[in-house]
C-alpha cells in the first residue's frame, strides 16, 4: 500500500532573507541537516532548495539499499537491483506536486552501470561513493528567476500547522572569512593520461570501439565550507544544471564514515521527461576560451565549429543516444531536433545536439534509466565496450562524476516514467569530509592527439581547481 503524503504552501518570513538561492543556501548549510540545491545559475529559470529530510533512499557502493523515514510511515520492500529499488521507492510515496521541482532530489552515480552491464573490476574504489541517493524533503523553496518570485512548500504525512515549520535566520555572508587555498595531494600524471589516449587509439584501430571518453582525477584537501566553495564555483563556472548537496551517510558507511558534499556546475542535460516526452542533449566537442582577447576567442569558436573531428564525435554519440532512447520509446518517435549547435561557457566552447522521443506507456523509471545510464557522451561508442576500457584505463572509480543529478517527480498516475530532469554530473566536485575530488575527461577518437587531449582536460577542470584555490 502506498504511503500518502501531503504538500502544503507555506509563507516565508520576511526576516528569513530567502530571496536569493545562494543566500538561502548560506543559512541552511550552517545547520546540521542534509539539503539539496538545484540551481539554474544566471539562466532565466527556476532553482529549488530542499532541506530537513522526510524520506531518503540511499544505496551504498555495495548495492545495499536503506530507506530512512519517521516512525509510523510504512516503508517499501525493495528489490536488490538498484534502479528497481529506486523505482519502487519513488512509487511507494504518493503525493501531488504543485511544481515540477518539488519531488525526489538527488543523484544516480556513474557506477550504476556496473549493475546494468558486466564490467571488469580494475579501478580503485577508494571513495566508495553511493550508487543512488534521493530525498523527499520536508521543506522546499522555489526561486522563479525569471518572474522574481519565491514560494515555499512543506511535505508531510498529513495536515501540519504552518508553525511547525521554521526558517533559519538570515546569516552574514561566509565570504567575510579569508579564503584558504586547498592543498593538492593527488596530481594526475600527463604521461599516464597520454598513454591512456594512445591505448584507446589502439583499441579503435583494432575495431573494438569508435570512441571512448577517458578522464583523470585530482585530490585536494580543503578547509573551506562546501557552501562557500559552491558560491565560488558559481562565479567561476555559472551553469544551467548546477547543484549543491549535503549527504550524511555515516550510518551506512564503515567506521570513520561521515558527511559528503556535491558541488556541481554542469552545462549538460542528461534526460528530461515531461508527460511522456523525453529529451536528451549530449555535449561533444570542446575548445578553450580566451575572454581577454575577443579576436582569439572568436577564432577558437570558429575552429570548433569547423572541426570535422569534433562534428564526427558528436554524430557518433547522437546515434548512440538515438538507439538508447529507441529501446524505451514508441516506434518512430525518436528525432534529432537540433543536430549541432555551439554553446558558450565561461572557460570553454562546446557543441551540443538535442534528441527527443515519446516514451512507451509501459516504460517505467527503472527501464528508462537502465536504457540510458550512464550517458553516451561520457562513455563512448559502442557504450558497453567503451565502459570496459574506461575501467581498465582510469586509476580510480568515477563515483558520482559522469552520473546524474536532479529531480524525480511524483509517481505517474497512469503508470510509466514520472516527470524528471537529470544532468550529466560533469564539472562536479565530490567531497568526502575535507577531501575534494575533481575529475575531467576528453572524448578520444582515432586521430586524437594525446597532448591536446591532456590540455582539454585541463581546460575542463580549470574552474573547479580555481574554486578550490589551485592554479590549473
How many whole angstroms separate alpha carbon 365 and alpha carbon 169? Answer: 38
Query: 91, 268, 367, 453: which one is catalytic?
Result: 268
Whether residue 268 lies in the annotated active site: yes
CA distances from 48 to 33, 59, 137, 396, 411 (A): 17, 23, 11, 32, 19
User: How many helices (H) does the chain have, and how many strands (E)?
Assistant: 9, 23
Q: Which of 257, 258, 252 is nearest to 59 (CA)?
A: 252
Q: How many angstroms from the chain centroid is the CA of residue 427?
A: 9
For residue 32, give Cα distances in angstroms to 137, 143, 222, 370, 371: 14, 23, 19, 34, 37
- R_g of the chain computed on alpha carbons: 21
Euclidean distance between CA atoms 54 and 68, whole angstroms: 8
- Beta strands 348-358; 335-344: pairing state: antiparallel
* 149 is known as an active-site residue: no
Angle (deg, nearest 10), helices 226-236 and 21-29: 160
Residue from 87, 91, 252, 284 carrying the catalytic annotation: 284
List active site positions: 268, 284
Amino acid at each position: 500500500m502506498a504511503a500518502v503524503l501531503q504538500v502544503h504552501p507555506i509563507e516565508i518570513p520576511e526576516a528569513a532573507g530567502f530571496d536569493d538561492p545562494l543566500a538561502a543556501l548560506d543559512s541552511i548549510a550552517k545547520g546540521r541537516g542534509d539539503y539539496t540545491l538545484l540551481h539554474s545559475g544566471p539562466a532565466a529559470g527556476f532553482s529549488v532548495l530542499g532541506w530537513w529530510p522526510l524520506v531518503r533512499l540511499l544505496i551504498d557502493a555495495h548495492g545495499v539499499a536503506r530507506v530512512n523515514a519517521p516512525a509510523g510511515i510504512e516503508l517499501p520492500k525493495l528489490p536488490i537491483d538498484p534502479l528497481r529499488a529506486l523505482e519502487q521507492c519513488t512509487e511507494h510515496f504518493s503525493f501531488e506536486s504543485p511544481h515540477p521541482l518539488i519531488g525526489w532530489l538527488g543523484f544516480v552515480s556513474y557506477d550504476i552501470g556496473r549493475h546494468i552491464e558486466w564490467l571488469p573490476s580494475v579501478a580503485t574504489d577508494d571513495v566508495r561513493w553511493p550508487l543512488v541517493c534521493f530525498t523527499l524533503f520536508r521543506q522546499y523553496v522555489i526561486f522563479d528567476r525569471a518572474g522574481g518570485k519565491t514560494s515555499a512548500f512543506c511535505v508531510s504525512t498529513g495536515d501540519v500547522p504552518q508553525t511547525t515549520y521554521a526558517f533559519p535566520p538570515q546569516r552574514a555572508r561566509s565570504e567575510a572569512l579569508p579564503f584558504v587555498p586547498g592543498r593538492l595531494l593527488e596530481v594526475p600524471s600527463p604521461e599516464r593520461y597520454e598513454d591512456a589516449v594512445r591505448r584507446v587509439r589502439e583499441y579503435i584501430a583494432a575495431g573494438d570501439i569508435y570512441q571512448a571518453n577517458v578522464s583523470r582525477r585530482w585530490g585536494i584537501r580543503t578547509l573551506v565550507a562546501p557552501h562557500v566553495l559552491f558560491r565560488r564555483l558559481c562565479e567561476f563556472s555559472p551553469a544551467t544544471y548546477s547543484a549543491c548537496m549535503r549527504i550524511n551517510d555515516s550510518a551506512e558507511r564503515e567506521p570513520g564514515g561521515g558527511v559528503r558534499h556535491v558541488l556541481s556546475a554542469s552545462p549538460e542535460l542528461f534526460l528530461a521527461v515531461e508527460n511522456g516526452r523525453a529529451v536528451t542533449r549530449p555535449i561533444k566537442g570542446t575548445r578553450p576560451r580566451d575572454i581577454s582577447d575577443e579576436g582569439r576567442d572568436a577564432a577558437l569558436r570558429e575552429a570548433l565549429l569547423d572541426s570535422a573531428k569534433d562534428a564526427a564525435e558528436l554524430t557518433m554519440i547522437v546515434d548512440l543516444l538515438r538507439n538508447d532512447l529507441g529501446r524505451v520509446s514508441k516506434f518512430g518517435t525518436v528525432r534529432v531536433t537540433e543536430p549541432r549547435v555551439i554553446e558558450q561557457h565561461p572557460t570553454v566552447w562546446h557543441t551540443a545536439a538535442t534528441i527527443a522521443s515519446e516514451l512507451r506507456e509501459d516504460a517505467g523509471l527503472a527501464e528508462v534509466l537502465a536504457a540510458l545510464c550512464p550517458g553516451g557522451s561520457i562513455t563512448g561508442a559502442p557504450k558497453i565496450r567503451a565502459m570496459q576500457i574506461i575501467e581498465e584505463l582510469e586509476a580510480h572509480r568515477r563515483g558520482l562524476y559522469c552520473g546524474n543529478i536532479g529531480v524525480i517527480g511524483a509517481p505517474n498516475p497512469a503508470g510509466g516514467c514520472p516527470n524528471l530532469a537529470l544532468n550529466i554530473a560533469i564539472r562536479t566536485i565530490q567531497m568526502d569530509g575535507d577531501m575534494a575530488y575533481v575529475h575531467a575527461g576528453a572524448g578520444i577518437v582515432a586521430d586524437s592527439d594525446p597532448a591536446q587531449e591532456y590540455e582539454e582536460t585541463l581546460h575542463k577542470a580549470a574552474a573547479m581547481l580555481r574554486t578550490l584555490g589551485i592554479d590549473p
